[in-house]
Chains A and B, each alone.
Chain A
């Protein structure tokens, strides 16, 4: 594989990384975007609709994914891991590992015949394990690129995929391959992960089948979700009573996560409204410490949910157990009523918090106390890291929503652009704006 020379390397292909790459590409810089998964899109492509507008998430994300893939100044490297980042005189030498897809990316047309022929079914990470896909598959219907990937760790080597592939793209001989990217600047957009569903023993330690995480609910609410409707995963019942437990992974010293994850109030409110649409007879109760609706239009969104009949109960959920039918039982101290009550629900969603996605050591960066990238001058330069030339955007820098991820993406692209110019002494007007 040939080595690559670019002005900017964006690491992570979620909404923040895609926006940063597009902004830099549009300015005429040569950009490489490295994504560890077989498709770009990040968490956003898995969401159903977005607060506060309730626009279809896929309708916003898919055009961005497509724009990245077709941009003349962006080279996209999916299913790749950054191995090391070495400082050079005028930039960085980044070593990248291309993981084998066992499919020839140049010839695969994404027709999915391999997927239909493959006999092994495995849990789909796109559906958070609640849906399935085959060992040979296109990761999801709107994946970019539309190229199949073969999960060799769950492969029986029966060769059925190879037999049906009309273009002979299956290639069992592929090996991991390392190549290097020579870049002037780096934008880190490695995103977030949810706190673990099993982190709290009081909340069932991940053992209760009808206590789920909020990204699972996003998938149930999405038209492409695993069940095609909202069902509880324990037994396929349409839930009629649903509880949200706020701050289930944030503002919690016992988990070592003392900060507010900033999106949980809003995604819980959004999901409760979407549930009311999908299951008009369902009752949704949100247990909260305080509701934080800080963004433009967010308070109105909250008031709309109340007007729609979503019940907001101020109180801290102390414990979740289950009855003999796997119905979760929530024990809550209601602060306004000053009592402790137990209530049985069909389904409980834990509003888990956000934590930093990827270890920072390979980028030569140290985390701050909250585990996210340390930003030395957060008020003056919120996208600059301790290493000159390396910028951070989106939830790689701390919990934030999509609006803020996009704003910081443009900010990081702008800071990277200034840095590239200072290093290369080339103004944008002198640069050959490729193919534009």
Chain B
């Protein structure tokens, strides 16, 4: 419907053109992706064996607790971590089993 006048470019050429147009966005999101991957790796390695609370994770990896919670919420949504018990008023999270 929208691509009525598609330029006759190959997929590779099109992506190249888009990449040029969105160079700054791509640069920014590449940095974002690097950060997100590093944080995921750090959090997941810390909670691989023993479930931990958000403040414990925050202390270990040096990120503010509200940001850690945002990552944990995202990992829960996409099946990367699961909730596993409570410690006082804090739910504990651990890395999900890989299938």
Contact = CB atoms under 8 A, between A and B. Distances in A.
A associates with B? yes
Interface string B1-22: 1111011000100110011001
Contacts of B44: none
B22 A152 contact: yes
Nearest to B78: A116
A173 B14 CA distance: 7
Contacts of B36: 119-121
A236 B29 contact: no
Contacts of B90: 235-238
B70 A132 contact: yes
Contacts of A110: none
B47 interface: no
A118 to B, nearest CB: 10
A174 interface: yes
B73 A173 contact: no
A105 B86 CA distance: 43
A323 B72 CA distance: 25
Nearest to A159: B15
Interface string A101-143: 0001110000000001001110100000011110100000000
Nearest to B58: A235
A312 interface: no
A175 B89 contact: no
Interface string A409-436: 0000000000000000000000000000
Contacts of B78: 116, 121
B83 interface: yes
Contact of B74 (A132, A234, A236): A132
Interface stretch (A197-205, A223-231, A246-254): A223-231
Interface residues of A, number: 44
Contacts of B33: 119-120, 156
A152 B25 contact: yes
A98 B53 CA distance: 44
Contact of A229 (B1, B37, B65, B91): B91
B25 A154 contact: yes
B32 interface: yes
A238 B70 contact: no
Contacts of B29: 120, 135, 154-156
Interface of B is mostly: helix
Interface string A202-215: 00000001000000
Given A172-B14, A209-B66, A226 B73 contact: yes
A228 B75 CA distance: 12
A402 interface: no
Contacts of A370: none
A237 B56 CA distance: 12
Interface residues on B, range: 35 or more
Contact of B2 (A98, A116, A237): A98
B18 A235 contact: no
A167 interface: no
B19 A157 contact: yes
B69 interface: yes
Question: Which of A131, A132, A153, A238 is packed against the most chain B CB atoms within 10 Å?
Answer: A132
A344 to B, nearest CB: 15
B2 A1 contact: yes
A177 interface: yes
Contact of A236 (B11, B69, B77): B69
A237 B22 CA distance: 40
Contact of B54 (A119, A156, A171, A235): A235
B66 A235 contact: yes
A175 B69 contact: no
Contacts of B89: 237-240
A38 interface: no
A362 to B, nearest CB: 23
Nearest to B7: A173
A155 B32 CA distance: 10
A100 interface: yes
Contacts of B7: 173
A233 interface: yes
Question: Which of A98, A209, A239 is packed against the most chain B CB atoms within 10 Å?
Answer: A209
Contacts of A116: 78
A171 B3 contact: yes
A174 B74 CA distance: 29
A105 B3 CA distance: 11
Interface of B: 1-4, 6-7, 11, 14-15, 18-19, 22, 25-26, 29-30, 32-33, 36-37, 53-55, 58, 65-66, 68-70, 72-74, 76-78, 83, 86, 89-91
Given A159-B15, A172-B18, A231-B69, 5 more contacts: A120-B36, A131-B77, A228-B83, A236-B72, A238-B89
29 contacts: A119-B36, A119-B37, A131-B73, A131-B74, A132-B73, A132-B74, A132-B77, A135-B29, A155-B25, A155-B29, A156-B29, A156-B30, A157-B15, A157-B18, A157-B26, A173-B3, A174-B3, A175-B2, A177-B2, A227-B73, A228-B76, A234-B69, A235-B65, A235-B69, A236-B53, A236-B68, A236-B90, A238-B89, A240-B89
